[in-house]
Structure 1
Amino acid sequence: MSAPAAPAHPAGPRARALVRPLLLRWLRLPAAVRVLAVYALARLFTAAVLAAVARFQPPSAWTPQDPGYADVLVLWDATWYRSIAEHGYPSAVPLGADGDPRQSELAFYPVAPLLARALMATGLPFAWAGSLVSLLTGAAAAVGVHALLLRALSARRPAGAARRGAWSAAVLLCVCPPAVVLQVPYTEGPALALLVAFLLLLQRRRYLPAAAVALVLGLTRPVAVPLSVVVAVHLLLRAREGHRRGAVLGGRVALRALVLLGASSAAGLLWPVTAALLTGRADAYTATMGAWRAGGRVEWLQPWWSVSRYLLGGAGPPLLVLLVVAYAAWLLSRRTAALGADLRTWCLAYPAYLLVVLDPFTSLFRYLVLLFPLGGLVGLHPRRRGALGAWVAASLALQVVWTAWLWRFSPPSDWPP
């Protein structure tokens, strides 16, 4: 005779009865509030990681003995931004003993340090002022990412799927492995906020405000070239859509479109021209950028080819080409169609730009934060709940690795974040 079944433990139903109202209250909150709550929790996690890493940071030219949280905020490029905020830019291109340009502030764009400088007028030291700029602009970017992806996905997917995709994009931005840059005095926070604002305005076809944002973005990070590609594709598709309907762009709309195209193209020249005017040297920006490159100058494509061959031998270059083609084919497939033309073009043009102008290095992880639209695809996965949870867990674990490996500086030299 079998033993009687044990009575059900009341903890399960009782726990569900307690959790369900809380979950419903959470879901009733405005989306922006929920995104900001996740962003705040993510930044607390990052702060804890930074504080832990500070305990293992050896003294260096950047940090004192036994550095604390504020000391590790200003490592790496943050030191250059502090110099700009406190002293401005040099009036000439600094040269070494060999006559070649040295590394200097001229390689760094002015918007983020000038915002920090404005906050420093209140008495805040740069570490906290620069961090506050990143935190606030990162928060604005996270909310904007949700709004941008919700609008893009709603045009092609049911409302529920669009909400899930927008939510996953915002959450993954908050917890991504290089999310430390949303907390330290770097340019990613301002650049993300401006890029999201630009793409939202472009989606809504508000071309004149988008042109103004593009110009400011051109003084924040060097992303104007892929931005102008997005604008060109957007306008071509709109013109084709109008042609199919037997309508052409009106005079005012066409003029605004031309202003936008001109502004997004000119944005790429703003800082190089400004650096030339500051120093009296036409190639001040590119010559200074070359000081960070292995060959002493900026080379197109060649560094990727050389590094792939160095790492993988003769198979490196063909594998690199295969990866590029596979990414482009995937991005142009039906699997990503829900993102819409503007976001897909950005996610194609921006990596192409990095491939052309960038030396493949550890900073690449940080640059890829601007590919945030791809996070929206996680929420559209058939097993979306498990997929998002797995991505969040992996991202937080990799954030610890990224911070301990790259943000921590081991003198006299180390791999940069």
Structure 2
Amino acid sequence: MADLALTAARRWAGIPLAARIAVVYLIARVITTGFLLAAASLSTSLSRFGAGAGLVDFVVGWDAQWYWLIAEQGYPTELPLGPSGEVRENPWAFMPVFAYAAKALGVVFGSWGMGALLLSVVAGYLACLALHRLLRDRIGGSAAMWAVVFFATGPLAALFQVGYAETLFLLLLFLALDAVARRRYARLYLLIPVMAFTRPGILAFALFLGLHGIARWRGRRTEPLRRSEVVHILALGALATVAGFSWQVIAGIATGEAGAYLATELAWRRPWIGGGAGGFVPFEGWIQASGFWFTQWGMPSAWGPVALVLLVALAALALLALPAVKALGADLRLWTASYLVYLLAVFFPQSSTFRLLLPVSPLWGAAAVPRSRTWRLVVLAGCLALQWVWIHAMYTLGNTYWQVP
């Protein structure tokens, strides 16, 4: 038995890396498809998708409807208003790259939904390749492969197979992080603009570049910092910042309303906050939400900010002190910190919080660092169990305010 296992392991290791990752990815997609089929069979008339739900309904459901609307009708030049004159939810909250790329594929393969599905699936596979490349020099090939397994089968793995922009953004992000890690800064001049118009988050990358530049400056005695690299880091930080605010400018010009984008984003907070939000204030969303959720859970709202402070402290401690996280290297920890600060600054936490945490997926490498087979299998089982819980809540049920992916 031991000889058979050793032979199988050697044959597996002899298969080209891209093929091994393809096998892992295809198995993960089959499992997710099974979960989605089960979710469809359990869907009832109380669900958003109805009693006759199918895989196609899930592919083009939820936010995919907004991307489809953008592909078919473009962006509105007049903001839709509610009865009290408040800006309502509209396409300006969504970036154009995924919508139009899916439309281009749909011309070839018959429908926008098929184009969106193919784009998500293929981008997801390429993101797995990019994640392995990003991690292997830090934690080794075996641990990097396990990180890919966790990533491909994770709690939100359904997003690999629906019309969301997440997998495309993750592919671009992993390539950008790898370019920084390998000091191939010139690649970022293409990646940054595409990332900026795929989904929100490029301002977090701008912060990351600033922190990366400071770290390079402080460590210049051990790793020389050339003048050309300084120029690249400064220019790319400026590019990411400009790109990060450009969508607000475009929305303002197109609609004639300077605050069109922020008003649109705040429209999604209105159902959660009585009276809505008067305007955007950095970091206010988490403070408001902490009080809201603790009240919903039957606890004093004053506990919310306290819990928020503890959550931030625990995240900082994990990034600074946990050996498995430290093994990922300074750049990936700086990226994680930058993105979490960005979320704290701009996001109102609700049912989409877990989806918005996907850009910190390099942390799967920390889960893969312990070499215990038992540990890795337990993590994998947890990924699959939570994947089903998420799919069941968002697609089988999907009928309350907290069941929106």
Give TM-score scaled by structure 2 length: 0.90
**Superimposed CA distance per residue, residues 328-383 of structure 1 (whole angstroms, 9 cap, x where no aligned partner):** 022012512221111001111111211221111111111112111211112222x5
Alignment partner, residue 159 of structure 2? 181
Alignment partner, residue 258 of structure 2? 282
Alignment partner, residue 3 of structure 1? none
SS in structure 1 at match of 2:140: helix
**Superimposed CA distance per residue, residues 74-94 of structure 1 (whole angstroms, 9 cap, x where no aligned partner):** 111111111112221112222
Change (3 A) 1:393 1:412: closer
Residues 57 and 410 in structure 1, CA contact (< 8 A), matched pair in contact too: no
Output the amino acid matched with 1:97: P
**Superimposed CA distance per residue, residues 4-46 of structure 1 (whole angstroms, 9 cap, x where no aligned partner):** xxxxxxxxx4xx4444322221122222221221111111111
Of residues 179, 182, 187, the one that matches 1:201 is: 179
Of residues 223, 235, 238, the one that matches 1:262 is: 238
The alignment of Structure 1 onto Structure 2 pairs a total of residues equal to 392
Give the C-alpha shift of residue 65 in structure 1.
5.5
**Superimposed CA distance per residue, residues 54-109 of structure 1 (whole angstroms, 9 cap, x where no aligned partner):** 12334589746612211221111111111112221112222223221111111111
Residues 159 and 167 in structure 2, CA contact (< 8 A), matched pair in contact too: yes
Alignment partner, residue 10 of structure 1? none
Cα RMSD (Å): 2.2
Output the amino acid matched with 1:215: P
Output the amino acid matched with 2:329: G
Aligned-partner Cα distance in 1 for 2:389–2:51:
23
Alignment partner, residue 288 of structure 2? 306
Residues 272 and 286 in structure 1, CA contact (< 8 A), matched pair in contact too: yes
Aligned-partner Cα distance in 2 for 1:411–1:329:
37
Give TM-score scaled by structure 1 length: 0.88
Q: How does 1:195-234 map to 2 (within 5 A)?
A: 195-234=173-212
Alignment partner, residue 346 of structure 1? 335
Output the amino acid matched with 2:360: L
Alignment partner, residue 90 of structure 2? 104
Residues 213 and 233 in structure 2, CA contact (< 8 A), matched pair in contact too: yes
1:121 aligns with 2:103: no
Alignment partner, residue 387 of structure 2? 399
SS in structure 2 at match of 1:332: helix
Sequence identity, in percent?
Answer: 34
Alignment partner, residue 8 of structure 1? none
Task: Name the stretch that deviates more: 221-230 or 397-406.
Answer: 221-230
Of residues 357, 361, 364, the one that matches 1:375 is: 364
Aligned-partner Cα distance in 1 for 2:103–2:9:
42
Alignment partner, residue 89 of structure 1? 75
**Superimposed CA distance per residue, residues 258-317 of structure 1 (whole angstroms, 9 cap, x where no aligned partner):** 221211212211222222232222211111111111324544333322333341423332
Of residues 306, 309, 314, the one that matches 1:318 is: 306
Aligned-partner Cα distance in 1 for 2:328–2:65:
37
Q: How does 1:6-85 map to 2 (within 5 A)?
A: 13=1, 16-58=2-44, 63=49, 66-85=52-71
* Structure 1: stretches of 5+ with no match in the other structure: 1-12, 154-160
Task: Name the stretch that deviates more: 302-311 or 30-39.
Answer: 302-311
1:359 aligns with 2:345: no
Give the C-alpha shift of residue 147 in structure 1.
0.4
Residues 223 and 350 in structure 1, CA contact (< 8 A), matched pair in contact too: yes
Aligned-partner Cα distance in 2 for 1:99–1:412:
25
Of residues 378, 386, 406, the one that matches 2:374 is: 386
Residues 252 and 259 in structure 2, CA contact (< 8 A), matched pair in contact too: yes
1:273 aligns with 2:259: no
Alignment partner, residue 164 of structure 1? 142
* Structure 2: stretches of 5+ with no match in the other structure: 271-275
Residues 43 and 396 in structure 2, CA contact (< 8 A), matched pair in contact too: yes
Q: Which has the larger radius of gyration?
A: 1
**Superimposed CA distance per residue, residues 122-151 of structure 1 (whole angstroms, 9 cap, x where no aligned partner):** 142122211111101111111100000113
Of residues 119, 122, 126, the one that matches 1:140 is: 126
Aligned-partner Cα distance in 1 for 2:248–2:54:
36
Give the C-alpha shift of residue 411 in structure 1.
4.8
Output the amino acid matched with 2:190: A
Output the amino acid matched with 2:372: R
